[in-house]
Amino acid sequence: MQFPSPISAKWIASFIDAGLFGKEDSQVTGINEIHNVQPGDIVFVDHPKYYDVCLKSAATFIIINKKTEVPEGKTLFVVDDPFEAYIKIVKHFRPFEASSKMISDSSTVGNGSTIMPNVFLGNHVSIGNNCIIHPNVTIYDHSVIGNNVVIHSGTVIGSDAFYFNTKKNREVWFKKMESCGRCVIHDDVEIGAGCTIDRGVSADTLIGQGTRFDNNIHIGHDVHIGKNCLLAAQVGVAGGTKIGDGVTLWGQVGVNKTIEIGDGAVVMGQAGVTSSIAGGKTYWGTPIEEFYAKRKELIWIKRIPEIWEKINKK
């Protein structure tokens, strides 16, 4: 999430009651989760396992629970509980806004677009030109819908990320990472009925131009789906995954978190994509393999009884 305008590091330190080390006169431009940080961003780290990753990341500002050497060009905010400090900043700059209307006064709808009955448009939602939003669609705050987009009945756009800070030494193990990102759907996309697309934790979930969704598809937080992709019914994609252009995922494919699927890949129905796969190939099975190799394997498995019988006769 980018702030409306740059904020001084001294103000942030005062706001979260942090010790300030490094470049005290610098300006903070946003806050992000480690997978999406850019120069000017704040990130938090509260476990020694990830100290080095955060300190060497693109983030300029690190909220940390240990005083340590400050890398060149960076600023550290030292607090007892970095997670709570991070959430305090998120809630300040992206607070929950209640809405008393089905279509918020702060939402905008482009020329030629049709909004059917019982559609909910949250605060600061943007709908482009010539869109059709069918009945009972819910579009959460800050979502961005491009031009010529069709969204079918019962779909939910921009719901919170399923993402938690987990510690087993406290009464509540799973504390929610407040979602301050957006869901952005580009031009010429069609989303089927009963789909759910989560917004980013701190960045954007992106659906590329010309992509088509069947019904009952779930897309997790911070997923990037390329142009002209085809997703069949009951596909599920976990958070942070990157899917290239022209990818086809057939029915009930499950895709693991934070992996990549290359351009033009085709994944056959009910497959489980557990690790990154190259583009331009067809895949099948769980764990996934190239389609023709997997089919050959199944043929040999079917022959095992016949081979076993021959061995026993000798």
pLDDT digits (tens, 9 = 90+) for 63-109: 999 888 888 889 999 999 999 999 999 999 999 999 989 999 999 99
Is there a catalytic annotation at residue 124? no
Query: Which class is domain 224-314?
Result: mainly beta
Task: Give me the long-range contacts of 40-44 (CB less than 8 A, separation at least 24).
Answer: 40/6, 42/12, 42/77, 42/86, 42/89, 44/82, 44/83, 44/85, 44/86
Hey, do 98-222 and 224-314 end up sharing a CATH topology, with the first three levels equal?
Answer: yes
Q: State residue 314's pLDDT score.
A: 64
Query: Which class is domain 2-93?
Result: alpha beta
pLDDT digits (tens, 9 = 90+) for 267-307: 999 999 999 999 999 999 888 888 777 777 777 777 778 77
Whether 182 and 158 have beta carbons less than 8 Å apart is answered as yes
Nearest to 149 by CA among 94, 189, 203, 93: 189
**Mean pLDDT of the chain, nearest integer:** 93
Q: State residue 103's pLDDT score.
A: 96
Q: What is the share, in percent, of the chain residues with pLDDT greater than 70? A: 100
In angstroms, the CA 75 to CA 80 distance is 17
- Neighbour-count burial for 16-37, b at 16+ CB within 10 Å, e otherwise: bebebbbbeebbbbbbbbbebb
In angstroms, the CA 139 to CA 115 distance is 12
Q: Which of 142, 186, 218, 221 is catalytic?
A: 221
Ramachandran angles phi, psi of 118, nearest 5°: 65, 20
Domains of the chain, residue spans: 2-93, 98-222, 224-314
pLDDT digits (tens, 9 = 90+) for 157-187: 999 999 998 888 888 899 999 999 999 999 9
pLDDT digits (tens, 9 = 90+) for 185-209: 999 999 999 999 999 999 999 999 9
In angstroms, the CA 117 to CA 137 distance is 9
Q: State residue 7's pLDDT score.
A: 94
User: Any idea which architecture 98-222 has in CATH?
Assistant: 3 Solenoid (2.160)
Q: Could you tell me the pTM of the whole model?
A: 0.90
Whether 41 and 34 have beta carbons less than 8 Å apart is answered as no
With a cut of 70, say whether residue 47 has pLDDT above it: yes
